[in-house]
Structure 1
Amino acid sequence: MRTAIFGDIHANLEALDAVLADAAEQKVEKFVCLGDIVGYNADPAACLKKIQEMDIPTVKGNHDHDASENHSLDSMNPIAATALQWTRDQLDDDQRLWLKRLRMVRQVTDFTIVHSTLDQPLHWNYVTNRFDAMSNFSYQFTQLCFHGHTHVPRVYMKSDKVQEVPAESVSIEADAKYFVNVGSVGQPRDGDWRACYCIYDHEEKLLTFRRVEYDIETTREKILAANLPPMLADRLLDGR
């Protein structure tokens, strides 16, 4: 079985469609979403509807959480806050309730999924190096755990020690655990503008990271047409 694992869609419909099309070409059989379906970009309702219709295992991201609640956004980065308030206005009550009810952590077949971290999933902490990853392994009871949140694909491996291995093609070793960031569909931040996701081949015990081109100009035009902050359109080109 081959499972496509993706997250941080951030209301980028063109990128989501491109990833789903690429996954179909790769003969993927199952799909899993790591959250942050909404936020930043201009198609929150359409992206959410697509994930709902797919009826796939999904966990809650911080933007999903903020879009589904009514708390103040004053402490947030102003650009993100502006986009989130706009996002709240685009979603109906049923959509916001669906986001609100998403779980923070789930086990799917033989692996675990979370948006940020296993040790404190509601704190939305970032894992940017092997030291950040160390505390997660104490809470990881499956060999594989997939997460997102930083928008940068990374693989942390624990055997006799915790180390980072290249996020390319990773063969799963029997005596090791892996904490895997699958990158971002809708707003990559590793300098590569293309949408990023991961395929897990259960039988081959292999992780493969995919980069997919999409109609970025249409996405950028939608952001500007919605009067969202222009910086959100510009950063897509830079992959930052």
Structure 2
Amino acid sequence: MRYAIFGDIHANWEALMTVMGDSQEQGCTHYVCVGDIVGYNADPGECLDYVRSLNCPVVKGNHDEEATQERTLDELNPLAESALLWTRQKLTEDQKQWLRELKLVRQVRDFTIVHATLDSPGSWAYVANRFDAMASFSYQFTQLCFYGHTHAPRIYEKDDTVRCLRDTDTTLRRGVKYFINVGSVGQPRDGDWRASYAIYDVEKQTVNIRRLEYDLRTTQQKIRDAGLPTILAERLALGR
């Protein structure tokens, strides 16, 4: 069994299709999504329908949540607010209802998935360092948990202490817990513009985070054509 675990698609169709094609070439047999299918980019409905068609486990992200609401978005940054207001107009009621029904945390086989944190998944806090990871480890009851939200791939491991591994490929050690950020398909923020996702090989007990180039120019042009803020197109090339 090989799981392709992906998230933070953020309505980037070209990046999503690249990840899906690569996952098939890598022999992945199962799919899991850690949330934020929509937001920022120009293909929210298309990306959402594709993920639905996979019939795979999915958890809700903060953009998935806000895209289904009618409340104000004053607490968000202006770019996220503009994109979400636009996204709300593009999604059908059926698509919104599907997003509303997503759970915040799920267990899949022998591992857990969440978008943000395990200690308070609906508050959408960020796990950006080992101290943040400590809180989630306290609520992690499986050896392995995958998450997203920061748009930067990270592997945290916990034995007698918590550390962030330098390598984004790892062989799981017995008796050690792992809290793994799979990075972002559609809007990486670690200085590398390429799409990111993880492969979990159950038999080999390995996790590998892959980076893939995609048709960036097409995605950028779609953002401009949709009338979304131009900076959303520009930032993609910077990985920020």
Q: Fold conserved (TM > 0.5)?
A: yes
1:48 aligns with 2:48: yes
**Structure 1 residue 78, shift from structure 2 partner:** 1.0
How many residue pairs align between the two structures?
Answer: 240
Look up the SS of the partner of 1:83 in the other structure. Answer: helix
1:122 alignment counterpart: 122
Cα distance in 2 for residues equivalent to 1:75 and 1:151: 20
1:60-71 equivalences in 2 (<5 Å): 60-71=60-71
Provide, for residues 167-226 of structure 1, a one-character-per-residue CA deviation record: whole Å limited to 9, x for no partner.
Answer: 421010001000000000000001111000000000111001100111000000000000
The secondary structure found in structure 2 opposite 1:236 is helix
| Aligned pairs for 1:123-142 within 5 A | 123-142=123-142
163-172 vs 78-87, which moves further: 163-172
| 1:224 aligns to 2:227 (yes or no) | no
What does residue 170 of structure 2 align with? 170
Per-residue CA deviation, residues 89-147 of structure 1 (Å, 9 max, x unaligned), is 00010000000100000000010000000000000000010000001111000000000
CA-CA distance at 1:74 after TM superposition: 1.8
Q: TM-score, normalised by structure 2?
A: 0.99
- Cross-structure match for 1:198: 198
State the distance in 2 between where 1:238 and 1:3 align: 28
Which consecutive unaligned segments of at least 5 residues does structure 1 have? none
Q: Give the equivalent residue in structure 1 for 2:214.
A: 214
1:31-67 per-residue CA deviation (whole Å, 9 max, x = no partner) reads 0000000000000000000001111100000000000
Q: CA deviation at 1:3?
A: 0.3
Helix, strand or coil: the match of 1:68? coil
Q: RMSD of the alignment, in Å? A: 0.6
Q: SS in structure 2 opposite 1:207?
A: strand
Q: Secondary structure at the match of 2:67?
A: helix
Measured after TM superposition, the shift of residue 150 of structure 1 is 0.1
**1:85 pairs with 2:99:** no
Q: SS of 2:37's equivalent? A: coil
TM-score by length of 1: 0.99
**Structure 1 counterpart of 2:82, one-letter code:** T
With 74-83 and 105-114 compared, the bigger mean Cα shift is at 74-83
One-letter amino acid of the counterpart of residue 176, structure 1? V
Is the Cα–Cα contact under 8 Å of residues 36 and 62 in structure 1 kept in the other structure?
yes
Runs of 4+ in 1 over 4 A off after TM superposition: none
String of CA shifts for 1:18-38, please: whole Å, max 9, x gaps.
Answer: 000000000000000000000
Opposite residue 101 of structure 1, the aligned amino acid is E
Distance 1:41 1:119 in 2: 29
In the alignment, what sits opposite 2:107?
A: 107
2:89 counterpart letter in structure 1: D
CA contact (8 A) 1:11 1:43 kept: yes
Percent identity between matched residues is 58
Partner residue of 1:233? Answer: 233
Q: Tell which deviates more after alignment, 3-12 or 162-171.
A: 162-171
- Segment of structure 1 superposing worse, 163-172 or 228-237: 163-172
